[in-house]
């Protein structure tokens, strides 16, 4: 059995914590200093780029089997359809009619879902399909070919999610280069920390008047967020975590399930919690959501349903 890389477990743990905390902060009006508010949101937005960098370090230059792709397709559509059904008939209380079921099937086949976090399933699936194609081509042209395909796809179906698909492909490539200490992407921890701080400061200066929760400046193509994500990836990849390795290994193993369950949990919890006017409420929401999502994933993995996780 191949030995686990504790630093990769740490990166996955930090990434899932940031993703869940991002959604715990959303739609809340935090009565704290504006710069602190910006920093929390900015830091949390590094979660998805960290996942993509991590994926690249593991699979970018390796052969991906067709069985893996078919499994990912099945898992993606299963969870899209499951959450669409739950949203329609439990949360929205729609009638269980043939027309509503057909509508849900069409919505699922179009990669549309009630829960916004599921857009990532589509993106990671497309990236893996491109990497599968890459693994079947001559090495000297494969990388250029998949970049051409990604650009073509983004150009034909232009929206922010497909642009993220192309950026995600770039990040997986960079993650591979950083992890294998190739090219110019390796820098030491001190410079990584300074780069992260500088990027955040420039971000604050550039977007001083922005609307914190609605602007596209917070999307993952923002250059400052991307640079900070690269810096954070470098820091976590080279930090010593002997006393933290067991915890991060456990969270890492359950990260995909936590990602799947956390938005439905947040939606349901918010209906019973008071309005989010202070940071303490968002932190409380985060811990409750994270704990429930972890527990649900743990229960699923103890049954035959564990095959429904990537």
The structural domains of the chain, with segments of one domain joined by +, span 6-64+122-308
| Conformational region of residue 253, where left means phi above 0, alpha means psi within -120 to 50, and beta covers everything else | alpha
Contacts of 287 (CB under 8 A, 6+ apart): none
What is the rounded distance in angstroms from the CA atom of residue 25 to the CA atom of residue 35?
15
pLDDT digits (tens), the chain, 310 positions: 467 788 889 999 999 999 999 888 775 555 566 667 777 888 888 898 899 889 888 887 777 888 888 888 888 888 888 877 777 766 666 666 777 777 778 877 777 766 666 777 777 887 788 788 877 777 666 666 666 666 665 555 545 555 666 777 778 878 888 887 755 555 666 777 788 888 877 777 766 555 555 555 666 777 888 888 888 898 888 887 776 778 888 999 999 989 988 888 887 787 776 665 567 777 888 899 999 999 999 988 888 777 766 6
What is the rounded distance in angstroms from the CA atom of residue 39 to the CA atom of residue 92?
35
- Helix (H) / strand (E) element for 166: namely helix 160-179
Asked if residues 266 and 289 have their Cβ atoms less than 8 Å apart, the reply is yes
What is the rounded distance in angstroms from the CA atom of residue 162 to the CA atom of residue 153?
7
Note the pTM of the prediction, 2 decimals. Answer: 0.84
130 token code pair: 């491109």
């Amino acid at each position: 059995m191949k030995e686990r890389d504790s630093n990769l477990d740490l990166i996955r743990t930090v990434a899932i914590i940031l993703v869940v905390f991002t959604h715990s902060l959303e739609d809340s009006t935090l009565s704290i200093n504006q710069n602190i508010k910006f920093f929390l949101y900015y830091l949390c937005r590094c979660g998805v780029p960290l996942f993509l960098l991590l994926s690249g370090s593991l699979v970018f230059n390796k052969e991906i089997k067709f069985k893996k792709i078919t499994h990912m397709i099945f898992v993606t559509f299963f969870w899209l359809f499951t959450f669409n059904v739950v949203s329609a008939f439990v949360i929205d209380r729609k009638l269980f009619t043939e027309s509503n079921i057909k509508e849900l099937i069409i919505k699922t086949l179009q990669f549309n879902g009630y829960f916004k976090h599921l857009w990532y399933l589509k993106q990671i699936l497309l990236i893996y399909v491109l990497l599968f194609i890459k693994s079947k081509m001559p090495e000297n042209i494969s990388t250029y070919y998949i970049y051409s395909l990604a650009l073509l796809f983004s150009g034909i179906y232009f929206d922010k999610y497909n642009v993220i698909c192309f950026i995600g492909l770039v990040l997986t490539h960079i993650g591979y280069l950083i992890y294998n200490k190739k090219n110019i992407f390796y820098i030491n921890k001190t410079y990584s920390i300074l780069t992260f701080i500088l990027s955040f400061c420039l971000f604050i200066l550039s977007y001083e008047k922005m609307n914190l929760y609605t602007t596209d400046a917070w999307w993952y193509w923002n250059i400052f967020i991307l640079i900070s994500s690269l810096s954070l990836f470098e820091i976590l990849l080279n930090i010593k975590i002997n006393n933290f390795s067991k915890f991060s290994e456990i969270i890492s193993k359950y990260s995909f399930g936590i990602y799947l369950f956390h938005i439905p949990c947040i939606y349901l919890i918010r209906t019973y919690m008071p309005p989010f006017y202070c940071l303490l409420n968002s932190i409380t929401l985060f811990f409750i959501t994270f704990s429930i999502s972890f527990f649900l994933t743990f229960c699923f993995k103890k049954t035959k349903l564990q095959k429904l996780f990537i």
